[in-house]
Structure 1
């Protein structure tokens, strides 16, 4: 199975939206509430929200052939690179698609900059994946919706002197 990763464009919006709509319930219902999942589906995975990330951030899609199986959005927060979203369709998980997306994002950022990301506490699968990619705990915050956001950071290698 040959995985290709490319920058998303307007034609990918329905596929990216579909990934979010299918992965969010499967990912978050085991440790959050249906209300939390529904609120986030209605804010982050609408056509308008996905279009905004494709137009304003750097969104990648991972494909096998022409089929889009995963997506990652790379943006900026407090002057640093941040991975806002990384999702792979449930039936395509475990096939190194997330790894291909992560490697593309990290290559894009380069070795001279830290990269941050965040996830909902309780998502142990995501935490393990991020740790395997070199991310370490940074801090936690309470967004006020009943969840806890965990921030992680992958530090740029120290320059050799």
Structure 2
């Protein structure tokens, strides 16, 4: 990985993180959801306020390659357990190990003593494969109000082994 750096995001990174979301969400979700679903989530989860809150209330990392913001990951707590809320890498940087590097940084920050949860929208097979290669296993599914299904996975506590 040429010139990859990952650090904890700060409020000066809000626009860079938003730009990652604005590029990745349509590319990721339009093939198996709807334009309305994508726009609603962009307006909700990738708004200035939401990204700012993820930086101040949770732990958000930002990845840079050759000076460009290319990926982000946010984790926090849900029902008392660590959960990775977001992990996105801009499409043109896929396959460079950036997602794996972000995941490894998160696992290190969380530590080996905790199960880690993650969720994705059913139909996102690329995310499912990526997560399962990193030790996540099916936990449960829940229906979303928008008519889609959220799949929850859990990675059991234990040593951190990179999937590179």
Smaller-chain TM-score range? Answer: over 0.9
Within a 5 Å distance, the mapping from 1:132-147 to structure 2 comes to 132-147=133-148
* Aligned partners of 1:74 and 1:84 also within 8 Å: yes
Superposed displacement of residue 66, structure 1: 2.6
Give every structure 1 segment of 4 or more consecutive aligned residues whose post-TM-superposition deviation is greater than 3 Å.
Answer: none
* Aligned partners of 1:74 and 1:83 also within 8 Å: yes
**Structure 1 residue ranges without an equivalent (≥5):** none
Would you say 1:115 and 2:138 are equivalent positions? no
C-alpha distance in 2 between matches for 1:21 and 1:65 = 20
**Structure 2 residue ranges without an equivalent (≥5):** 160-164
C-alpha distance in 2 between matches for 1:110 and 1:65 = 29
The number of equivalent residue pairs is 158
Map of 1:70 onto structure 2: 71
Calculate the aligned-residue CA RMSD, in Å: 1.0
TM score, norm. by length of structure 1: 0.95
TM score, norm. by length of structure 2: 0.94
| 1:72-130 Cα deviation digits (max 9, x unpaired) | 00110000000000000111111100000000000111111000000000000000000
SS in 2 for 1:127: helix
Map of 1:2 onto structure 2: 3
C-alpha distance in 2 between matches for 1:42 and 1:157 = 36
Greater CA drift, 149-158 or 130-139: 149-158
SS in 2 for 1:119: strand
C-alpha distance in 2 between matches for 1:126 and 1:60 = 18
| 1:17-37 Cα deviation digits (max 9, x unpaired) | 000011000000000011111
